[in-house]
């Protein structure tokens, strides 16, 4: 039996996926905390929706049961990259204003 087909290899892959999911959850929690702090310090309206940010693809969480793990990761990666670009633009604008 090839090593990639062994039960231990499948278990390692599952463990890596589980770890990735836990880390994504931690990232989300950290982002929520960061956003709450930012809103508070900037005196912004806390009721503003962050679920939809112009230029950032919507999360596909409601369709996760219909997607493969690869599809979910690719969609979330695209959203992350777009969000990262917007954050970099925001940082640049903030630096220019200071």
Cβ–Cβ < 8 Å for 43, 36: no
How far, rounded to the nearest angstrom, does the alpha carbon of residue 95 sit from its chain's CA centroid? 25
pLDDT of residue 56: 62
Look over the chain and give the mean of its residue pLDDT values, rounded to a whole number: 78
pTM confidence score: 0.41
On the question of pLDDT at 26 being above 60, the answer is yes
Write down the domain spans for the chain: 7-56, 57-97
SS3 state of residue 16: helix
39-52 tens-digit pLDDT: 888 787 777 665 66
Residue 10 pLDDT grade (very low, low, confident, very high; cuts 50, 70, 90): confident
Q: Which residue has the tokens 């929690």?
A: 29
pLDDT of residue 1: 44
């Amino acid at each position: 039996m090839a090593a990639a087909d062994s039960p231990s290899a499948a278990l390692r892959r599952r463990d890596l996926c589980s770890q990735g999911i836990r880390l994504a959850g931690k990232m989300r929690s950290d982002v929520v905390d960061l956003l709450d702090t930012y809103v508070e310090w900037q005196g912004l309206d806390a009721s503003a929706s962050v679920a939809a940010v112009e230029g950032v693809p919507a999360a596909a969480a409601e369709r996760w049961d219909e997607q493969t793990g690869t599809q979910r990761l690719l969609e979330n990666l695209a959203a992350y990259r777009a969000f990262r670009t917007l954050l970099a633009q925001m940082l640049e604008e903030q630096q220019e204003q200071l």
